[in-house]
Amino acid sequence: MNKFGYIRSAAAVPVVSVADTHTNTRRICQLIEKAAKEEVSLLAFPELCTTGYTCGDLFCQQLLLQQAEEAVREIVQFAAAYPITIFIGAPVQNNGRLYNCAIAANGGKILGIVPKTYLPNYNEFQDVRWFSTGSDFISKHSPDGDMFNISYAGQLCCFTPNQLFEVDGVTVGIEICEDVWAPIPPSSYLAIEGAQIIVNLSASNEVINKLEFRKRLITAQSAQRVLGYIYASAGFGESTTDLVFSGSSMICENGMILAEGKEFSLEPTLIIGDIDVHKLNHLRYKTNTFYGVTPDGDDVRAYRRFFRQSTATMAPETDFEAHLYRPISPDPFTPNKDEMDSKCHTALEIQATGLISRMLKIGCKTVVIGVSGGLDSTLALLCAVRAYDKMGWDRKGIIGITMPGFGTSDRTHNNAADLMEELGITNREISIKEACRQHFKDIGHDGVTQDLTYENSQARERTQILMDVANSVNGIVLGTGDLSEIALGWCTYNGDHMSNYSINASLPKTLIRTLVSWAADHVYKNTGSSGDKIAAILHDIVDTPVSPELKGSGKEIEQKTEDNIGPYELHDFFIYYTIRHGFSPEKIKFLAVRAFAGKYSKEEVDKWMEKFINRFFCSQFKRSCAPDGPKVSPISLSPRGDWRMPSDASAAIWRENTQAKKS
């Protein structure tokens, strides 16, 4: 800290190679050297950056743990050549348990090891599967906490969450990722004990809304605790089996963002900010409530053991049927007008980044997409184009295949062909008619009766074509199915249900429609003659009725999905409140009737809710073996992420609840 009270701080996000400690060590050291050249005093890296956050059960491999310790040793020795304090993440063994830790080091010495206190056990994050909580090392009797010493990386180190570090006249505390999301995060205690700066080593994935919410959380944290906050989160290099990490990083001071990293960067990032500690001290001096946490000034941690209960007189039951004092959006997945640009951009970036990561890790530069002229395949194609443009790859590496069948209409066929032509990808057409006729003959189907076999045979034939073409060009099949179809089971098992990477897996139909419209107006329109043509095609695709086009005589669209299963906007509403909030069917119907007042009657809502419950429960077996795909919206039905459900669960009580108060 200089005489004016500034301390130069930085957050670094390396491109991590998951489980490759040698590569990670080299890349971390490169960023340390870069930061030192900028005269940085405090440098924070992401959570578990020495190994990668997404190692999963590899954390239980002794070899990985040994190599992580060796990586810490090398990094600490390397940083000793510079006047800089570093904070790096690593898994640390202690007393027969494994801990997710932040390690502070300066001058070749490990200053202390801070284990993560709050371990997530929900959705895609399950730290408790591998790690123990650092609260094991907080004394239940002493508010100061017991100090524990362990031998690590050839040094005797203090191991406890209750640590403060004096760096150049500044007091620094540490918390790790989920810690800051807790009701009373460690930074609250650390600030009261004197921390002027909090360093957060994080690994936080991206979904729509989360980036902005996280930014508000961190800025509010720095304002409420009157401190500087250095936040570094995992980036592009982490695994994207079901998740994409953007490398979010920021440096805040009392609610103000001093520096912010570029999200979704494919390169390592380093952001730098000068935090004014004198200013923070002055604000604390003037804020009497800052240290007035408890009536007698005791450490607030002593009060976690005491709870006070009170009984309130219950008012008469409120008649919510008459009026509901809260807005209900009929389209909960779609961003509002003010956030539309940023959130649509984020959604496409998550999808493109996830695809890039998958392709780089398997050494592939070719994707095969079945392009039908419908919404889902259109968005998948646009995301592939974005990924290829971002990497500087030739778009000809995207192979789009139209596969006209018995019910394919001229409108969708022409839109698919024209779109591929204007986007400049490889365009192929392979009719499925003759192959299906032969298949019908082989299995004894008359080829005339348009039953389930008639439909599914076409879907599976298309998937076989895509898979075999992908094999022949050393590529992968990019899936096009969306969240709405997955929830309703509106896909042919081992047909359109299957792919190598399901890029739309967490996007509902309503949001896909919005994203395609947004791309038409904000990516392609007014970018030249070809761009205007693409925009016009995209708008026509948005206006085209949703159809699998597996029935009919062709020419015109005769099979409309929503006539069969119901309006997608209603189903997406049901999906959102069922999965996101766990509401009962009765409550969801109550909300839907108000959200769609004037458009759908109560009877119609009842009808389609029953359809939703029946299809949702009986289709879990399809979701249990769904392919990988990035989480983009707040909801994913991946069996490895948000949703884990037995395939044979009974829907009885949900059906019963669906009938509640039904007129």
Residues known to be catalytic:
47, 116, 177
Assigned token pair, 481: 């199915």
Cα 375–381–386 angle (5° rounding)? 125
User: DSSP string spanning 565-591?
Assistant: H--HHHHHHHHIIIIIS---HHHHHHH
Helix (H, G, I), strand (E, B) or coil at 326: coil
Assigned token pair, 142: 């002493």
User: CA 201 to CA 175: how far, in whole Å?
Assistant: 7
Candidates 281, 280, 275, 285; CA nearest to 1 is 275
In sequence order, what E strands does 333-376 have? 367-370
Please give the DSSP secondary-structure letter assigned to residue 622: H
Contact call for residues 515 and 391 (beta carbons, < 8 A): no
In sequence order, what E strands does 471-607 have? 476-479, 501-502
Identify the H or E element spanning 272: strand 269-276
Cross-strand bridge partners of residue 199:
174, 230
Candidates 264, 262, 530; CA nearest to 383 is 264
Contact call for residues 19 and 58 (beta carbons, < 8 A): yes
Candidates 470, 441, 472; CA nearest to 457 is 441
CA dihedral 90, 93, 97, 103 (to 10 degrees): -40
